[in-house]
Structure 1
Amino acid sequence: DHLFLGDGKRYRLTEYSEPIEVDTVARALASGDIDNDGDLDLLITNWNQSPRLLRSTVSGRAPVLGLLLEGTPPASNIDAIGARITVRAGNRTQVREHRVQSSYFSSHDPRQLFTLPREASSAEVSIRWPDGTNEEFQLEAGSYHHLKQGKGLISSAAFRPAR
């Protein structure tokens, strides 16, 4: 197994600690924020071995914005799969299609995380829902925001401190 770290421009192979550095044949990867601290943790399933959880404990990072999308049937699917998310903060624009799967035997946390520029405390968020309708929001960093199609912001929950 290899672990790559992205810096916003490229990915590089990382050095990682001894407990992770074992020969395995990985079969699936699931990413999600299992401890609700605003960063992605990884669960790796291996052939004939126990799964491994890689929990991120990074501190002093840039602000993060979390989103949970909910579509409104029958116009859109309940999980808002296929929605196009655009996040603008500072001089950075990020665009992502909402999905929860990406590879063989893998599924991911339905919540989306966006890293903002260090000086940003909020972001402009545009959602193009699966049925083609659009909504815009101004949201604070440091929280998960539950957005429901046609209803707007349902709730916000601050990230838990990393442990």
Structure 2
Amino acid sequence: MVMAGLEQATSGRVTVLGEDISAMSEAELAQFRRGRVGVVFQSFHLIPSMTALQNVATALELAGQPDPFERARAKLADLGLAHRSDHFPKQMSGGEQQRVALARALAPNPKLVFADEPTGNLDAANGASIVDSLFTLTQEQADTTLILVTHDNQLAQRCDRIIDLRDGKICESQGA
């Protein structure tokens, strides 16, 4: 959450995409994230009064992207949710809600995608499907880096680089 600019660091500097975000105001952080940072939360954080299509289109509108509803429809279709685009979060399963959250994070083609325990609230089958979609779609988007936070060692092994944190300290780093 600190790297995504959603929480403030208590000390030190945080540099993301070449910018020091440590001293940025909330407004500056929002501007920094706009279209450049996507976040997939463990608990989805969809807007309950909006349909799946509106949840995704809102992210595109905030990012200043043209044709937000057309792009949102396309991203939902990429995730197998074209038939659920007019449904509200409470009308969808957990797996469907997480795919909407994934569509919302990826639709603006951000440079960074942060995924915080993206399978934590899902059963094994839905979790595997979400992970496959997450890796596939981020690889398809040129110049997009996925930063995944997980306690699942098998999931971590799918990443190019693993940084192990214990008690807030880096213990080891593996990979590229």
Fold equivalence (TM over 0.5): no
- TM-score normalised by length of structure 2: 0.25
- TM-score normalised by length of structure 1: 0.26
Larger radius of gyration: 1
Structure having the higher helix fraction is 2
